[in-house]
Amino acid sequence: MKKTKIFYWIVTGLFSAFMLFSAIPDILVVPDAVTFMTSLGYPEYIIRFLGIAKLLGIIAILIPGFPRIKEWAYAGLFFDLIGATYSQIAKAGLQPQISFMILPIGFLFASYILYHKKIKQIS
């Protein structure tokens, strides 16, 4: 139980940090974020929305309790990461740097699996 909890918080912390580092520039509408998102074909007004959605998802995952909201947060963050990966591949083709996306997607799945393992052990 204790080992699962420790692994869960390490993986979830790393995943949350990654998502937070990608959410802050979106929330602040930093010029680099605008350039990147508009180069993918997205309108500028969606940038802040996506940043706030990521931040809310991170908060939902980190706050104890609220299992249904946690499930929705994991789903939303999954779609964000898969959408970002797909957008980059659709725009520039399959480039070697896209393989970096394996890390946050892997952390997302690991966090989700450990979350359910932790819940099972509690009940």
pLDDT recorded at residue 91: 93
What's this model's pTM, rounded to 2 decimal places? 0.93
Three-class secondary structure of residue 63 per DSSP: coil
**Distance between CA 16 and CA 70 in Å, rounded?**
13
Do the beta carbons of residue 41 and residue 91 sit within 8 Å? yes
pLDDT digits (tens, 9 = 90+) for 42-60: 999 999 999 999 999 999 9
3-state secondary structure of 39: helix
- Which two structure tokens, joined as six digits, stand for 35? 């350039």
pLDDT (mean) for 55-70: 95
At residue 34's C-alpha, the angle toward residues 56 and 26, to 5°, is 15
Q: Between 70 and 2, name the one with better pLDDT.
A: 70
68, pLDDT greater than 90: yes
Range of the structural domain that residue 63 is part of: 2-122
Structure tokens at 100: 């970096």
Q: What is the pLDDT of residues 69-116, one digit of tens each?
A: 999 999 999 999 999 999 999 998 889 888 999 999 999 999 999 999
Question: pLDDT value at position 122?
Answer: 77
Per-residue pLDDT, 3: 92
Tally of domains within the chain = 1
Confidence of residue 121 (pLDDT cuts 50, 70, 90): confident
Measured CA to CA, the distance from residue 61 to residue 58 in angstroms comes to 5
What are the structure tokens assigned to 39, written together? 């180069």
